[in-house]
Chain A
Amino acid sequence: MAKQRFVSGLAAGLVGMALVAAPLQAAETIKVGTFLAVTGPASFLGDPELKTLQMYVDEINAEGGLMGRQIELVHYDSGANPKKAVDFVKRLIQRDKVDVIVGGSASGETMAVTPQVEKAGIPFISLAGSIKIVQPVKKWVFKTPHTDRMAAAKIYEDMNKRGIKKVALISGSGGFDKSGRAQSLDLAPEYGITIVADETYGSKDTDMTAQLTKIRATDAEAILNFGFGTGPAIVTKNIRQLGITVPVYQSHGVASKKYIELAGDAANGVRLPASALLVADKLPDSDPQKAVLMVYKTKYEAKHGSVSTFGGHAYDGLFIALEAIVRAGSTDKAKVRAEIEKTRGFIGTGGVFNMSAEDHLGLDLGAFKMLEIKNGDWTLVN
Chain B
Amino acid sequence: MKRLHGFFAFVALVAMLPVLFPDNYFVTVVGVTIGFNIVLAVALNLFIGYAGQISLGHAAFFGMGAYASAILTTRYGWSPWLAMGVGLLAVYIIATLISRPILKLKGHYLAMATLGFGIIVNIIMVQTVDWTGGPDGMSGIPGLEIFGWAVDSDLRWYGVIAVVMLLTVLVSLNIIDSRAGRALRAVHGSEIAAQTMGVDTVRTKSQVFVFSACLASLVGSLFAHQQNFVSPVSFDFFVSIEIVTMVVLGGMASTFGAVFGAIVLTLLPQVLVVFDDYEILILGAILVSIMIFLPQGLFVGMTQGGANLLRRLRNRETPARAGADG
A107 and B139 within 8 A (CB):
no
CA distance A95 to B25 in the complex (A): 6
CA distance A239 to B78 in the complex (A): 48
- Residue in A90, A112, A174, A179 whose beta carbon sits within 8 Å of that of B139 in the complex: A112
List CB contacts (< 8 Å) of A111-135 with chain B. Answer: 111-112, 114-115, 130, 132
Interface size, B (range): 20 to 34
List chain B residues, Cβ under 8 A from A209: none
The residue in B30, B136, B231, B270 that gathers the most chain A C-beta atoms within 10 A of its C-beta is B136
User: Which residue on chain A has the smallest CB distance to residue B139?
Assistant: A111
User: Which residue on chain B has the smallest CB distance to residue A81?
Assistant: B233
List chain A residues, Cβ under 8 A from B134: 175, 178-179
Given contact pairs A83-B234, A87-B33, A173-B127, A111 touches B273 in the complex (Cβ within 8 A): no
CA distance A87 to B227 in the complex (A): 10
- Chain B nearest CB from A47 CB (Å) reads 12
List CB contacts (< 8 Å) of B24-44 with chain A. Answer: 25, 29-30, 33
A175 and B29 within 8 A (CB):
no
List chain B residues, Cβ under 8 A from A87: 29-30, 33, 270
Against B, the Cβ 8 Å flags (1 = close, 0 = not) of A64-86 are 00000000000011001111001
Given contact pairs A82-B234, A94-B25, A115-B229, A178 touches B33 in the complex (Cβ within 8 A): no
Asked if A306 is at the interface of the complex by the 8 Å CB criterion, the answer is no
A112 and B135 within 8 A (CB):
no
CA distance A83 to B228 in the complex (A): 11
List chain B residues, Cβ under 8 A from A178: 129, 134-136
Given contact pairs A87-B29, A132-B136, A178-B135, A112 touches B23 in the complex (Cβ within 8 A): no
List chain B residues, Cβ under 8 A from A76: 273
- Residue in B33, B129, B233 whose beta carbon sits within 8 Å of that of A80 in the complex: B233
A90 and B137 within 8 A (CB):
no
CA distance A179 to B126 in the complex (A): 12
List chain B residues, Cβ under 8 A from A175: 134-136
CA distance A178 to B136 in the complex (A): 9
Asked if A182 is at the interface of the complex by the 8 Å CB criterion, the answer is yes
Asked if A206 is at the interface of the complex by the 8 Å CB criterion, the answer is no
Count the A-B residue pairs with Cβ separation under 8 angstroms: how many? 72
B227 and A111 within 8 A (CB):
no
List chain B residues, Cβ under 8 A from A81: 233-234
B227 and A86 within 8 A (CB):
yes
CA distance A132 to B129 in the complex (A): 14
A91 and B29 within 8 A (CB):
yes
Asked if B280 is at the interface of the complex by the 8 Å CB criterion, the answer is yes
B227 and A112 within 8 A (CB):
yes
Against A, the Cβ 8 Å flags (1 = close, 0 = not) of B201-234 are 0000000000000000000000000011101011
User: Which residue on chain B has the smallest CB distance to residue A107?
Assistant: B136
B127 and A115 within 8 A (CB):
no
List chain A residues, Cβ under 8 A from B233: 80-83, 108
Against B, the Cβ 8 Å flags (1 = close, 0 = not) of A87-118 are 10011001100000000000110011011000
Given contact pairs A39-B280, A87-B33, A108 touches B228 in the complex (Cβ within 8 A): no
B137 and A108 within 8 A (CB):
yes
List chain B residues, Cβ under 8 A from A112: 137, 139, 227, 229, 231
CA distance A83 to B135 in the complex (A): 14
B129 and A182 within 8 A (CB):
yes
List chain B residues, Cβ under 8 A from A174: 135
List chain A residues, Cβ under 8 A from B137: 82, 108, 111-112
CA distance A363 to B174 in the complex (A): 61
Given contact pairs A82-B231, A87-B33, A94 touches B139 in the complex (Cβ within 8 A): no
B154 and A108 within 8 A (CB):
no
CA distance A179 to B23 in the complex (A): 39
B30 and A111 within 8 A (CB):
no
List chain A residues, Cβ under 8 A from B25: 90-91, 94-95
- Residue in B33, B126, B229, B234 whose beta carbon sits within 8 Å of that of A111 in the complex: B229
Against A, the Cβ 8 Å flags (1 = close, 0 = not) of B275-304 are 000011000000000000000000000000
List chain A residues, Cβ under 8 A from B136: 107-108, 111, 130, 132, 175, 178-179
The residue in B23, B129, B229 that gathers the most chain A C-beta atoms within 10 A of its C-beta is B229
CA distance A108 to B233 in the complex (A): 9
B29 and A90 within 8 A (CB):
yes
B139 and A114 within 8 A (CB):
yes
List CB contacts (< 8 Å) of A35-81 with chain B. Answer: 39, 76-77, 80-81
Given contact pairs A108-B135, A111-B139, A130-B136, A82 touches B229 in the complex (Cβ within 8 A): yes
List chain A residues, Cβ under 8 A from B270: 87, 91
- Chain B nearest CB from A178 CB (Å) reads 5
CA distance A302 to B102 in the complex (A): 58
- Chain A nearest CB from B25 CB (Å) reads 4
List chain B residues, Cβ under 8 A from A95: 25
B280 and A94 within 8 A (CB):
no
List CB contacts (< 8 Å) of B120-139 with chain A. Answer: 126-127, 129, 134-137, 139
CA distance A90 to B32 in the complex (A): 12
The residue in A77, A81, A175, A178 that gathers the most chain B C-beta atoms within 10 A of its C-beta is A175
User: Which residue on chain B has the smallest CB distance to residue A86?
Assistant: B227
User: Which residue on chain A has the smallest CB distance to residue B29?
Assistant: A90
CA distance A39 to B126 in the complex (A): 21
CA distance A91 to B23 in the complex (A): 11
CA distance A123 to B233 in the complex (A): 26
List chain A residues, Cβ under 8 A from B229: 82, 86, 111-112, 114-115
List chain B residues, Cβ under 8 A from A77: 273, 279
24 contacts between A and B (CB under 8 A): A77-B279, A80-B233, A82-B229, A83-B227, A83-B234, A87-B29, A87-B270, A90-B154, A91-B29, A94-B29, A107-B136, A108-B136, A111-B137, A111-B229, A112-B139, A112-B231, A130-B136, A132-B136, A173-B127, A174-B135, A175-B135, A175-B136, A178-B129, A179-B136
- In the complex, besides A82-B229, A108-B233, 19 extra interface pairs with C-beta distance below 8 angstroms are A39-B280, A76-B273, A81-B233, A83-B33, A83-B227, A83-B234, A87-B29, A87-B270, A94-B29, A95-B25, A108-B135, A112-B231, A114-B229, A115-B228, A130-B136, A173-B126, A175-B134, A175-B135, A182-B129
Question: Which 6 A/B pairs are nearest by Cβ-Cβ distance?
Answer: A175-B135, A115-B228, A95-B25, A112-B229, A90-B29, A175-B136
